């Protein structure tokens, strides 16, 4: 009978350890999911910044504006199309 109680006690200890590990793994997964969401948000922001910089570069780089605009007959027309620059 004593042996049965020992086995029962050992099994309960093992279940408790497994339960603690499971809880720790759940916490880790939660932190990983949060980090993944944060990284996804950061990637979106960086992508938007990259697009904005590329658009600005296309307007400020000589010759690049001609590639971004429909073809015109003269460079003077291109220069006067964007007086805010």
Task: Assess whether pLDDT exceeds 70 at residue 84.
Answer: no
Write the pLDDT tens digit of every residue in 2-53. 899 999 999 999 999 999 999 999 999 999 999 999 999 999 999 999 999 9
Res 69: pLDDT? 53
Domain ranges of the chain: 2-81
Q: Rounded CA gap, 23 and 15, in Å?
A: 12
Q: How far apart (Å, rounded) are the C-alpha atoms in residues 8 and 18?
A: 15
């Amino acid at each position: 009978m004593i042996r049965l109680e020992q086995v029962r006690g050992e099994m309960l200890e093992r279940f408790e350890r497994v339960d603690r590990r499971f809880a720790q793994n759940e916490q880790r997964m939660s932190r990983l999911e949060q980090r993944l969401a944060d990284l996804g948000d950061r990637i979106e922001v960086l992508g938007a910044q990259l697009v904005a910089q590329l658009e600005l570069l296309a307007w400020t780089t000589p010759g690049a504006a001609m590639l971004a605009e429909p073809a015109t007959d003269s460079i003077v027309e291109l220069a006067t199309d964007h007086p805010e620059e």
